[in-house]
Amino acid sequence: MADLPPNVYKKQITNAGSGLFASEAVEPGKEVFRIERPLVSVLNQNHLTTACANCFLWVPENDEDAVGGGNGGEEPKKKKLRACQGCKIVRYCSKDCQTQSWTHSHRHECKIFSKLYPKVLPNTARIVMQLLLRQKANNLHDSEWQAFLALRSHIDDFRSSQNSNEGGLPTWQTIELMSQAASNYSGSKRPMQFIQTLTGRVLVNTLTLTTPTFDPLGLTLSPTASLLNHSCTPNTAITYSGSRLTVRSLCEIPPNTELTISYIDTTNATSIRQTELQDRYFFTCTCPACSTNTTNGKPDEKDHAFEATLVRAIELQNSASSQRPDQAAPLLKQAIDLFAPYSPHRQPYAAILHTAFLNAISRQNWPAAFTYSLRAYFYIDAVHYQPDWHPVRIVRKWVLLRLVVQIAGLASESDPSVEALQKFGVDWQIFAMSLLSDVSEGIPKSHGEDNLFAKEVEGFAGDTGMVGRSVESDVVESEMVKLRRIAEYSVKEVKMLE
C-alpha cells in the first residue's frame, strides 16, 4: 500500500473498515501529516476557466466571487490563465504548471478532452477515466494504485440504494452511465463490473478540493487521506495550499487515538447528519455527538414550533434562489426574522444568514453584509467552530476583515452607502487591526505558516499599512460593545435593505 506518514499507523476497526491512528501525541493546532499531491484531482466544470488545472490557483472572474480571497497573495486581476492549445478545456497559470500537469496526467486525456470539446465529462467520470488511462500507461505508482483498490467501494450498497442524484436519476443508474463513459473514452479493456467498482470507490472516498479559504474548486482523492474516518466531533481538519493537502489537529490528540475528520456539515442537527451519512456513505454514526443527540455541544431540542419555522424558512430560501439578488434579499430577510425566538446557532439559521450575506455582497449593500457577518461572528462561529483558531473561524474573520476595510474606505469618503452604520460610531481601524491580529495569530495553528493563505494575509497587512500595529484590549472591548449593538439591531430599522 501507499507509504504512510511516520507518525500515523493503519488499524482495522470493527464495522468501519480501516482507520488512521496517531502513533505519538499531537498538540492542538499542529500538522499531523501532509500529502504534496494526492493521487488525482479534478476541477469542477465551472472552475475549468477560473483555476489552474495544476496548482489550483483560483482567478475569479469578478471580485464578488472572491469574498474569501484564497489566492496565495496573487491579485486576481493580475494573473491570466491560458488554455491548453490541445484540448481548450483545462487552463494553466504558467508554462511550468502546464508541463507538470502534462507529465502527471494530462498527456493521457488531452486528445479525449479535445474530441469532447466544448462538452466536459462529470467530475467522477473524469477521475475514473484518468485513473484507467494512467494505470494502462504505467503512470501510477503501484503502491498508490493498490492502496486505492483496497478502499471500500460500497458497490452493493449503491446497487440496492433507492437514492437519486440532483437530476432525479437513480444513483446506481448514474454509476452505470459514468462507468460506461469512463470505459469508452479511456479505451479500457477492463470488465465493466471492475470499472463500476472504481466509480463506487471514487464516489465515497473523494474529498472536496478547495482554496486555502475553503472556496470549493473540485474533487481530490488520496488513498491515505481516505483512511480518515468520520466523526461529528472530529479531532483533525483538512486544509489545502495549492495542490497540497494537510491534516491538522483541532485539539490535543493522545497517542494511539484514531484521527477523524468530518465528512459532512456538522452544524446540522443529529437527525440530518445521520440521514446524510447513511445516504451518502452507508453507515450509522455513533460518535459522541450522535450518541447524545447534540450538535457542537448543544442539545438538539424537540420543538414543533421550530419545525414549522424551519419548513417555512427553507421555502423562503428556495424561493429566493430562483430570484434576482434584489428580489431575493427581502425573502432571505423574512426567513432570518422567523428565527428571532430561537438560539442563533441552530440550523438552518446559520446557512440562511450566510446566503443573505453573499446576497448583500453581490448587491454591494455593505451595511446589510456587515450586520449579517457580525451576527455570525458573535453568535454562531464561536459555537460551531471551536477553538478560536479553528480554520473555518479564522477564514470567516478574514472575510469580515476584508469587509471592514472596504467599509472604512467608504466611510472616510463619506460615502452614503455606509451612512446607516456611521451612527454607531465604530472606529473601523481599531476593529480591522483587532481582526488582523486574530487572523495572523491563528494562522500558524489553523493553516500553518507555509500555507498560501498565510502569505496572502501577510501581503494584505503590508498593503494596508497594518503590519506590526496593535491595539490595547480595553480599547478593542469598547468597540465590541458598539459592534454588538449593530449585530443586535434590526436590519430593517437601519434601512439596510432599501
Which of 6-15, 343-352, 400-409: highest mean pLDDT? 400-409
pLDDT of residue 301: 80
pLDDT digit string (tens) for 416-431? 999 999 989 999 999 9
pLDDT of residue 202: 97
| Residue 498 binned pLDDT confidence (cut-offs 50, 70, 90) | very low
Element of type H or E holding 178: helix 171-186
pLDDT digit string (tens) for 236-245? 999 999 999 9
Q: Read off the amino acid at residue 346.
A: R
Residue 36 pLDDT greater than 70, yes or no: yes
pLDDT of residue 164: 79
Least trusted range by pLDDT, from 264-278, 342-356, 452-466, 484-498: 484-498
The mean pLDDT of 316-326, rounded to a whole number, is: 95
Nearest to 496, CA basis, from 372, 411, 344: 372
3 state DSSP class of 394: helix
Distance of alpha carbon 227 from alpha carbon 17, whole angstroms: 9
Least trusted range by pLDDT, from 127-136, 442-451, 462-471: 462-471
Distance of alpha carbon 387 from alpha carbon 237, whole angstroms: 12
pLDDT of residue 467: 78
pLDDT digit string (tens) for 474-494? 899 999 999 999 998 755 554
| Residue 274 binned pLDDT confidence (cut-offs 50, 70, 90) | very high
The residues pairing with 221 across neighbouring beta strands, listed in sequence order, are 40
Surface-to-core class of residue 448, CB atoms within 10 Å of its CB (0-12 exposed, 13-18 middle, 19+ buried): buried
Q: What percent of the chain has pLDDT over 70?
A: 93
CA distances from 76 to 42, 375, 406, 456 (A): 21, 29, 17, 12
Nearest to 282, CA basis, from 160, 148, 128, 150: 160
pLDDT digit string (tens) for 64-85? 444 545 554 444 445 789 999 9
The mean pLDDT of 297-301, rounded to a whole number, is: 88
Q: What percent of the chain has pLDDT over 90?
A: 82
Distance of alpha carbon 16 from alpha carbon 169, whole angstroms: 29
Residue 381 pLDDT greater than 50, yes or no: yes
The mean pLDDT of 46-70, rounded to a whole number, is: 77
**Is 240 within 8 Å of 210 (Cβ atoms)?**
yes
pLDDT of residue 2: 63
| Residue 267 binned pLDDT confidence (cut-offs 50, 70, 90) | very high
pLDDT of residue 494: 44
Distance of alpha carbon 195 from alpha carbon 188, whole angstroms: 9
Nearest to 251, CA basis, from 97, 385, 112: 385
The mean pLDDT of 161-170, rounded to a whole number, is: 78
Regarding pTM above 0.85, the answer is yes
What's phi and psi for 51, nearest 5 deg? -145, 145
pLDDT digit string (tens) for 94-127? 999 999 999 999 999 999 999 999 999 999 999 9
Residue 140 pLDDT greater than 80, yes or no: yes
pLDDT of residue 224: 96
Average pLDDT of the chain to the nearest whole number:
91
pLDDT of residue 465: 86
pLDDT digit string (tens) for 383-416? 999 999 999 999 999 999 999 999 999 999 999 9
Q: Which domains does the chain have, with CATH numbers?
A: 39-208 (no CATH), 304-488 (1.25.40.10)
3 state DSSP class of 118: coil
